[in-house]
Copies of this chain bind each other. A is one copy, B any other.
């Protein structure tokens, strides 16, 4: 029987690629998708499809309503910025930053990992395209791994040492897409847009859409999903 890995699966391009890396590394996948009350619920359906396509052993959906705290365009009523130059995105902390999001996601993944006796947790964070997010940096990943081994029964008893794996941490979007295609990821199942249309199509204009589109353009492959301005 293969070792188990917990994979945080948002339904986006990055987490799908990170999960494919975990599968490539030989793990049985235990997916966790957290609905933190974000507006783009179409992501949850994408997460379900991606999980199926990767053959996960178990997929847990958990609702944690971070909208009670407010403080982000993704959970609050602020508007998602549109049409910003991709180059302008990385150097400030975007309004789409969700307070403590990755800390919460990893804490939940740790509970899942401890219960399933998995030692590895994969997540698709990325320090390049999202350098404005404090919880997408290598030192954050390191600090959480240290915490995980102090916080848990397995860590304390020395029976298990947790590893937090962020295989995309130092990759650009185009590198991620190239790697995912190598690993057989079906990006047509994924969803990236912060502000999708009611019919599920991506807006094409938010930071996430613009980064994704530029990535596919640079990779020289068509993006298989539908955008609001397709055919314009």
Contacts and interface: CB of A to CB of B under 8 A. Distances in A.
Interface of A: 60, 62-66, 68-71, 93, 97-104, 106-108, 110-112, 114-116, 134-135, 137, 139-140, 143-144, 146-148, 150-153, 155-157
Given A147-B143, A150-B137, A99 B71 contact: no
A153 B99 contact: yes
A150 B143 contact: yes
Given A107-B104, A146-B143, A115 B152 contact: no
Given A71-B115, A111-B66, A97 B153 contact: yes
A101 B114 CA distance: 11
A155 B60 CA distance: 31
Given A103-B111, A134-B155, 5 more contacts: A63-B63, A93-B153, A97-B153, A100-B110, A143-B143
Nearest to A142: B150
A123 B63 CA distance: 24
Given A62-B64, A68-B62, A135 B151 contact: yes
A158 to B, nearest CB: 11
A65 B63 contact: yes
A29 B99 CA distance: 19
Contacts of A93: 153, 156-157
Contacts of A100: 107-108, 110-111, 114, 151-152
